[in-house]
Structure 1
């Protein structure tokens, strides 16, 4: 059969707890870093592109002892330091492509991430150390009541708001207000709304910057929620977090750091017609 186009490239679609991603093996694609943002902004919109919360490029390692590096971009083309659910997908794909073994270390903008690819699609990652924990901050708004929240960086910045009933929260509305608040300028923050069911279970809904809406899950947000709840004495150090996508993420707080475990699923792999989107790889 005659090829439909000579300008086609293979991509992978994966999801972790409802967060979906477009992934590329950049060790063979060789896309320059300065073009990656445009690819994410062009291909992540649903209905017009492949559709995803973010885009991940797996690349050759720049640091000795690392199996690979990644470049992560939100759906709006902004670069993010870290993504918990994305890191699990990246680790499983790297293992499948032969870029890394089951035990692996890879470089992110937030630092080195250790991952373990388990059976039945599960991946456990050790996130970068939680930093800048602040409890009981009051955020004031001109047109609404003040909000009591907590914040911590688990690779990317997160605000955490504790609710009596997380299912009744206007996540898009309040999340956008907090995400854009001057106290978090200029980069902004992700916003997590949590309900502590008991010491071993937390319900979570997340407004993600870069997506600019509620997503089905957020791995670093789940970690941030447990770090905050634990600091407030509301939960144990090992917690099952139930996301708005009804998936279960396991967060373990240990002396070595914060560990995130959950499934990372392959959805499909395909060939993208670059011509359709006006994209090209320099030199091709």
Structure 2
């Protein structure tokens, strides 16, 4: 099987052209093995590019544990770059993911990915929670460098409040009037990742509500820089949300299944 490795601000994925529908998508053990960083290719997740009669392509995303996941923002930007590299479109594309339709634009190194609308931001047991295609908790702290993201994030991810499916957990620190530093514990990976697209989107929306930061908001992650633009609605919801940043091919190869 031919595979391709892509990364978006350090969030890395195995990409497979599955337009012929032959990949064994139900084999969770195989997908977990392919994502394993010691015994496989190594990635935060695996993404299939599939055919769809109404769209340029369909995105099917799996977490590193082999289970099909919710929407992945950085993965979405990577599959757009992959589809562009395959010649499926020139400048703008329209594709289907688990949370519905997405539009994306390629402009040089950057991919601008339109995210789904967000109806609002909730409070659950004193924690700020919202869904940006995947569920996220957002917490603002003063010293992001020193926090144990894995230990703190895991305790919230597995807490009774968010059972049975759990949640991703983001910690953010305001650096200036339009910039945040964000670190994320991702469910499915069960570790801190270098970047999380739906996570930084969630942080940006909460920041405009709680810190009165205007759009666009610039995000620093351990894997690089992103920015999020959006429109805040009078009813507390958000639309016209774009996640913007680089996505690049790292290498390609062939592996025996």
1:225 corresponds to: 203
**Contact kept in structure 2, 1:198 and 1:235, CA below 8 Å:** no
Give the TM-score taking structure 2 as reference length. Answer: 0.93
**Deviation digits for residues 6-38 of structure 1 (CA, Å, limit 9, x no counterpart):** xxx110000000000000000146224323x33
**Deviation digits for residues 102-152 of structure 1 (CA, Å, limit 9, x no counterpart):** 211111111111111111x211100111245114x43xxxxxxxxx42111
2:14 corresponds to: 22
Select which of 242, 245, 250 maps to 1:259. 242
**Contact kept in structure 1, 2:21 and 2:50, CA below 8 Å:** no
Distance 1:83 1:108 in 2: 9
- The yes-or-no answer on 1:157 pairing with 2:135 is yes
| Aligned residue pairs, count | 251
TM-aligned CA deviation for residue 234 of structure 1: 3.5
Give the TM-score taking structure 1 as reference length. Answer: 0.85
TM-aligned CA deviation for residue 99 of structure 1: 2.5
Distance 1:226 1:107 in 2: 24
Select which of 226, 247, 253 maps to 1:249. 226
Distance 2:191 2:178 in 1: 27
C-alpha root-mean-square deviation of aligned residues, in Å?
1.4
* Matched ranges for 1:134-173 at <5 A: 134-135=122-123, 137-138=124-125, 148-173=126-151
Distance 2:99 2:90 in 1: 22
Distance 1:195 1:220 in 2: 17
TM-aligned CA deviation for residue 39 of structure 1: 3.0
5+ residue gaps in structure 1?
Answer: 1-8, 139-147, 275-284
**Contact kept in structure 1, 2:50 and 2:59, CA below 8 Å:** yes
Which deviates more, 168-177 or 96-105?
A: 96-105
2:3 corresponds to: 11
TM-aligned CA deviation for residue 80 of structure 1: 1.2
SS in 2 for 1:227: helix
1:45 corresponds to: 36
1:3 corresponds to: none
- Runs of 4+ aligned structure 1 residues displaced above 4 Å come to none
Distance 2:67 2:76 in 1: 17
SS in 2 for 1:167: coil
Select which of 218, 235, 255 maps to 2:213. 235
5+ residue gaps in structure 2?
Answer: 233-238
Distance 1:104 1:254 in 2: 21
SS in 1 for 2:13: strand
Distance 1:32 1:45 in 2: 17
TM-aligned CA deviation for residue 197 of structure 1: 1.7
